[in-house]
Amino acid sequence: MKIARFSTAGQDPRFGILDERDLIVLAGDPLYQGFETTGERVPLKDATLLAPVIPRSKVVGIGLNYAEHSSEMDMLTTDDPVVFLKPNTSVVGPNDPIRTPAGVGRVDFEGELAIVIGSLAKNVRREDFAQVIFGYTVANDVTARDLQSRESQWARAKGFDTFCPIGPVIETEIDPSDIRLETRVDGDLRQVASTSELVHDIPSLIEFVSSIWTLLPGDLILTGTPAGVGPLHDGEIVEVTISGIGSLANPVVALR
């Protein structure tokens, strides 16, 4: 089931179940109010898709979780996952611009699968990981690469406004263990991988991250990016596609 957050002219954001060309409108946020429908249908062509969730608490990033990406960054994979935080103010939705700040140097795309947490989660055992997951969406962990290389903490490099596009929907019924990820810039293929290549799989990530922080409904875990990351330039369009979920496209706008 694909869950979208959307707006139409003159109305506040709402949630709906994507049914081919229509959105079946939900009575409220499904994270908290379930899947009760209102009986209204909105044609998809009349809706603007928004970020499918705005985390009330945090976005957890995972670094160096594909071996080939670790090699291209000349960094070693580790026994434990590399974790960092992105603020929820970095989250934007489909077709929203990625605004690259002036003076930060190179800014890279990083296509990723994102986990959407569905319930309060602390010290979750790996065998119970599915019980705390609401679904999965597509993410782009945009990174100011020059800043990242200069600073031991990644908060600034990863945390600028618009540096966490997500969408277009949350898929609640998918096996995430072996799904294909592709990233294109202006149509040129830059990244391609399967989630089967993750160094630390999703059950391990849930177990590890929930041992550090209490996860709240709507929190995101970005599972890491494969090899092929590269710079973004003003006017380009970056598109991340994950099979079974959809495509997330965002234009790049350089701030001056």
Both 44 and 111 in a single domain? no
Q: Is the pLDDT of residue 226 over 70?
A: yes
The percentage of the chain sitting over the pLDDT mark of 70, rounded to a whole number, equals 96
Both 64 and 44 in a single domain? no
Token readout for 159 is 């945390």
CB 14 within 8 A of CB 20: no
Both 34 and 75 in a single domain? no
Q: Is the pLDDT of residue 195 over 70?
A: yes
Both 138 and 219 in a single domain? yes
Q: Could you please report the per-residue DSSP string of the chain?
A: -EEEEEE-TTS--EEEEEETTEEEEESS-HHHHTT-EEEEEEEGGG-EEE-S---SS-EEEEES-BHHHHHHTT----SSPEEEEE-GGGEE-TT--EEEPTT---EEE-EEEEEEE-S-BSS--GGGGGGGEEEEEEEE--EEHHHHHH-SS-HHHHHSTT-EEEEEEEESS--TTS-EEEEEETTEEEEEEEGGGBSS-HHHHHHHHHHHS-B-TT-EEE----S--EE--TT-EEEEEETTTEEEEEEEEE--
Token readout for 122 is 């602390």
Which CATH number belongs to the domain containing residue 220 in this structure? 3.90.850.10
Mean pLDDT of the chain: 95
Both 85 and 208 in a single domain? yes
The pLDDT confidence band at residue 199, using thresholds 50, 70 and 90, is very high
Domain that holds residue 40: 2-49
Asked, for residue 218, whether it belongs to a domain, the answer is: yes
Asked, for residue 155, whether it belongs to a domain, the answer is: yes
Both 191 and 116 in a single domain? yes
- Residue of 160, 164, 142, 116 whose CA lies nearest to 15: 116
**Residue 81 to residue 214: CA distance in whole angstroms:** 17
Both 42 and 78 in a single domain? no
End-to-end CA distance of the chain: 41
Provide the number of structural domains found in the chain. Answer: 2
pLDDT of residue 12: 94
Give the pLDDT confidence of 29-78 residue by residue, as tens digits: 999 999 999 999 999 999 999 999 999 899 999 998 987 766 666 666 67
Token readout for 83 is 């974790």
Asked, for residue 116, whether it belongs to a domain, the answer is: yes
Both 43 and 83 in a single domain? no
Question: Looking at this protein, which amino acid is placed at residue 51?
Answer: A
Question: Looking at this protein, which amino acid is placed at residue 205?
Answer: L
**Residue 134 to residue 143: CA distance in whole angstroms:** 26
Both 65 and 17 in a single domain? no
Asked, for residue 177, whether it belongs to a domain, the answer is: yes
Report the pLDDT averaged over residues 228-252.
98
Both 22 and 118 in a single domain? no
**Residue 78 to residue 60: CA distance in whole angstroms:** 17
CB 71 within 8 A of CB 29: no
- What is the distance, to the nearest Å, from the Cα of residue 128 to the centroid of all Cα atoms in its chain? 22
Both 97 and 16 in a single domain? no
Which CATH number belongs to the domain containing residue 38 in this structure? 2.30.30
Report the pLDDT averaged over residues 84-90.
97
Report the pLDDT averaged over residues 1-12.
94
Both 107 and 230 in a single domain? yes
CB 192 within 8 A of CB 226: yes
The pLDDT confidence band at residue 20, using thresholds 50, 70 and 90, is confident
Asked, for residue 54, whether it belongs to a domain, the answer is: no
The percentage of the chain sitting over the pLDDT mark of 90, rounded to a whole number, equals 91
Sort 102 into a burial class: Cβ within 10 Å, 0-12 / 13-18 / 19+: exposed
